[in-house]
A and B are shown apart, each in its own frame.
Chain A
């Protein structure tokens, strides 16, 4: 579904990604972890071309992301993305947040978009808030709306960039629950997170990055059983013990 081949990326002369390759199959849940600044956000933003890359090739559902001829808006509309800071549109109501792209990008009628959006809103347990504005919701609620917004586009895969990092601890689980359910339904997911509980429950594979390189790319059991690299062990011992 998502194939990343020998990606390298520079910011000026600073190399952020060095020769990264991996593959995410349909229905697979891949967790990406690693220390701050290791390039986790950058690599998943390359997948939907939010960030350009200078070398290598990324294919999503057989479509080359780096090809200048690719219709990027169309490709992006098929990949859901969830951000650390939610990024709901604050000037639009919850319902409008859910329908805007369905109407403007997919060309759905307002009624169809609304039906779809509200169905997903109900699924994340926020039907009662459909007419509120993002600023009137808690962080956890906003993130669940953001997930519903991404799902309303019927994505073939979902990207998550630290979806729970900006949340108060008591709200983390309400968001993780939605994600776990999504994973169990067979959604293809690439998830940057330090929630190792989530990784243990639903991930098929874990990727560990450091300094722009993919250091580990193995099954969940291998990763938590005996990570091969010292960096990964050090990282794990740090985040598991707090």
Chain B
């Protein structure tokens, strides 16, 4: 292949007038992270609750949790993105819906993107949390109960601290997935990293340079996440406890 790489393009000004292309892309990374982090907070909060509820002895609570998971797991991410962007505002009370639709860019795309990714990821977190709790010896919960802990205290002090340590590696993968999946938000007009790489390619016709930069930025970001999570795993490691399976890696 005979392609003339033009590395200088990164230092050229983008036509929107915000500065050079590399700055344009880095701002895109900022939006990617802002979307992914906000979605991750939602995903962790809901996933923890739903995953835990699905392990309780209450049949109806378990069914409700299962239904929630099935809904968000079986609809493709991009469809969910469109639903949040186009359909949900129509379903809201009129005043609220109009407010959402008239939000200034990029918020009009950002908010639906965060909600979509947050809920989509929450079921994946819920699956992990449920599996983690399920992998604990049955006697652990029993010992807590026998000491007089209530069900809530049992989860809070006995089961979840152990389960979360076990599922930390798969949760790392899920966090990296949110970062990658946030690129789907470009379909509803959010100019995050991928969206900006595409825009750069359209303005400058430098397709290779644009996506090479995006690729490297994604890789570096995920590398940072991997190292941060490794550090966290080390920090919460329990002396004498067989550590969870060493599968903390990107995939």
Contacts and interface: CB of A to CB of B under 8 A. Distances in A.
Interface of A: 48, 50, 73-74, 76-79, 81, 83, 85, 87-91, 100-101, 104-106, 132-137, 149-150, 153
B140 A89 contact: yes
B139 A85 contact: yes
B140 A133 contact: no
A134 B240 contact: yes
B240 A136 contact: yes
Contacts of A77: 147-148
A16 B238 CA distance: 38
Given A85-B139, A91-B162, A104 B241 contact: no
A76 B238 contact: no
Interface residues of B, number: 23
Interface stretch (B15-23, B76-84, B115-123, B149-157): B149-157
Given A104-B153, A133-B238, A135-B240, A48 B161 contact: no
A134 B162 CA distance: 13
B241 A135 contact: yes
B143 interface: yes
A91 B139 contact: no
Contacts of B148: 73-74, 76-78, 101, 105-106, 153
A87 B157 contact: no
A90 B241 contact: yes
A74 B240 CA distance: 32
Nearest to B237: A91
A100 B144 CA distance: 10
A124 to B, nearest CB: 17
Contacts of B230: none
Given A133-B239, A135-B240, A135-B242, A73 B142 contact: no
Nearest to B240: A135
Interface of B: 137, 139-140, 142-150, 153, 157-158, 161-162, 165, 238-242
20 contacts: A48-B146, A73-B145, A73-B148, A76-B145, A77-B147, A78-B148, A83-B139, A87-B139, A87-B140, A89-B143, A89-B162, A90-B238, A91-B161, A101-B144, A105-B153, A133-B238, A135-B242, A136-B239, A136-B240, A153-B147
A6 to B, nearest CB: 24
B143 A83 contact: yes
A105 B152 CA distance: 12
Contacts of A91: 161-162, 165, 238, 241
Nearest to B148: A77
B158 A89 contact: yes
Contacts, number: 79
Contacts of A85: 137, 139
Contacts of A81: 143, 146-147
A153 B240 CA distance: 26
Contacts of A150: 147
A71 B93 CA distance: 44
B162 A101 contact: no
Contacts of B145: 50, 73, 76
A105 B137 contact: no
A87 B153 CA distance: 16
A110 B135 CA distance: 31
Contacts of B140: 87, 89
Given A89-B140, A101-B147, A137-B240, 12 more contacts: A48-B146, A73-B145, A77-B147, A79-B146, A89-B157, A89-B158, A90-B241, A91-B241, A104-B157, A133-B238, A133-B241, A153-B147
B240 A132 contact: yes
A90 B144 CA distance: 12
Given A74-B148, A101-B148, A153-B148, A87 B240 contact: no
B137 A87 contact: yes
Given A83-B142, A83-B143, A87-B143, A135 B149 contact: no
Given A91-B238, A133-B238, A76 B146 contact: yes
